[in-house]
Structure 1
């Protein structure tokens, strides 16, 4: 019974095949039929190269026409590693997978070719044999055969095999091959490029730098990434670096004869078109001894004025210690109910220091010394606070009894007083002098032609009279 069943089965198969061949003869020539009987898979199009950022997912697609019972394999070319065969993943990497899809409607452009007729855009690899399974001797397909010179119909079946690499690493970059186990072996290749955002290598870069004013120094910044990052230098405060340039390119920044104005933060910025760009901050410190300048060396005020300020500016690095002294005694001025000290850093090496008098009293009028000190030296400047007296209708200053007893100045020292420059351009500056303590009455010196006292007139008259008497006796 089994013997007869086999005969019936084979007879039926021959009848079906003969009928199909008769139908096919009306649509194809004898040459087409011969080619169809020997038809092998072909690549429907080139595999596109892929560029993927590190950490993302990469997909390489291989589209094959008339695969039949042939097998598709993905191979890493540089390591000669078989990644997948058909639906089976060979590599141990858990990040690699394969999937395939069948599309019977896509009509691709004419890239199809017979394996013995090389297409100008196709690349065959005949000497790499990774697959072991051979195709059947004769395969009968229900798909209408196409010659190498015909465009496949829209009903042709294409299979797309995709190699998927998850969490792409920079080591995944390279050449990948989609291979068919035809005879001879055929394949297409594609390149996977992995872009890596820039990263600054701290071990190969400089750190913060401290130099003495006038010296030279070099800052280095090393970065990795793909493509290779471009390194740009700029100052954090936006000021020019050197030669009036706001930015400088290159991994090395040379600074020569560094002035104090170059103190501050410098930024090394690495970018390669793959976000995000990264930067490293370098602090350049320039050491120099302190220097002090007073905003106004003479400050005039009236007794009873409030919030009168003396100000000095100190430049120093390292950061200085600043304080005020009474110039005549050397005593340190401390904060209290009468005055307070204030200081404000305007940049990395400048300090503004103020001495504020909350309510001026007569004994506050004197010279004060602003002092700036650091480890490299000390500097100071003197500010003189003088008293402005009320002015009478006749243009003379009005002095109180206490002023006259003290010699017209705040205290027994000699103090300079000036008129307002805008209001008295034609008047000379006045100078106050202490009167001789043995005189019977104190005198006042006129400023710009003021009248002397009666005592001075009497003294002049007596002196003149004595001279005349002497001249008469001589005759």
Structure 2
């Protein structure tokens, strides 16, 4: 008769995983050799993972989360169990990042020459996204624009040649997003003529 055994070493320990919220996350593990063959379960932050959640599947040594959320992040441990006992793998971290999402977007504007224009652009994401502005028709008006602390774009003393599409581009480790606003400039002299 074969002795009941559960060896020490996991044949494959889970590795750290980084995903964007909404993407699937997969962690893999092959338990130590044992007799009887060990079954596998998973713990997140020392609490057993419940695969009754329809997003979570545990099959073989794989833990699959179909639509990851921020709340899924944490330290995961693969647990191999048989009659002899149970062994925990080294922990692996699941990091769930969020793609940039705009909370304030630029709006199309019609202004008079020499006016000051503000295009707003507020964005949320994890890690904190970078924000830059570009103009589809060429460069931003040299010496007459500033990007403010809240990422809004201010154009001063606008001229007819500043007309065009201004795009706020936001990017982080897991994604990129952009939104645009259109500027139209009317010549102030013509409006005065009745």
Q: TM-score, normalised by structure 2?
A: 0.73
Counterpart mapping for 1:125-164 below 5 A: 161-164=61-64
Aligned residues: 190
Q: Does the CA contact (< 8 Å) of 1:289 and 1:378 recur in 2?
A: no
1:93 is aligned to 2:61: no
2:181 to 273, 278, 282: 282
1:202-213 aligned within 5 A = 204-213=104-113
Q: Which has the larger radius of gyration?
A: 1
Determine helix, strand or coil for the equivalent of 1:188. Answer: coil
Q: Aligned ranges for residues 281-300 of structure 1 at < 5 Å?
A: 281-290=180-189
Residue 72 of structure 1 corresponds to which residue in structure 2?
40
* Per-residue CA distance 1:219-262 (angstroms, 9 max, x = gap): 221223444332221112114333399x9798222323333432
Where do 5+ consecutive residues of structure 2 fail to align? Answer: none
In structure 2, distance between residues paired with 1:162 and 1:282: 46
Whole-angstrom CA distance in 2 between matches of 1:225 and 1:72: 34
* CA offsets 1:23-78 (integer angstroms, 9 cap, x no match): xxxxxxxxxxxxx988644323442112334444322112222233555320121x
Matched residues in 2 for 1:198 and 1:39: separation? 46
CA distance in 1, matches of 2:177, 2:87: 47
Indicate whether 1:253 and 2:136 are aligned: no
Question: 1:39 and 1:180 mapped to 2: Cα distance?
Answer: 9
Does residue 48 of structure 2 align to residue 82 of structure 1? yes
- Residue 37 and residue 194 in structure 1: after superposition, are their counterparts in 2 closer, same or farther (change >3 A)? closer
CA contact (8 A) 1:232 1:249 kept: no
Deviation at 1:378, TM superposition (A): 2.1
The equivalent residue for 1:442 is none
Gaps of 5+ in 1: 1-15, 18-35, 84-89, 101-160, 291-373, 380-475
Q: Distance in 1 between matches of 2:148 and 2:35?
A: 58
Bigger relative contact order, structure 1 or 2 (CA pairs below 8 A, ≥6 apart): 2
Higher share in strand:
2
Say which structure is richer in helix.
Answer: 1
Q: 1:208: how far off?
A: 2.8
What's the offset of the Cα at 1:187?
Answer: 3.7
Of 29, 37, 62, the match for 2:29: 62
SS in structure 1 of the partner of residue 54 of structure 2: coil
Structure 2 counterparts to residues 351-370 of structure 1, below 5 A: none
Going from structure 1 to structure 2, the CA distance change for 1:273 and 1:41 (only over 3 Å counts) comes to closer
- Quick check: 1:41–1:64 contact (8 Å CA) kept in 2? no
Match of 2:92 in 1: 190
Distance verdict in 2 for CA 1:95–1:184, change over 3 Å: closer
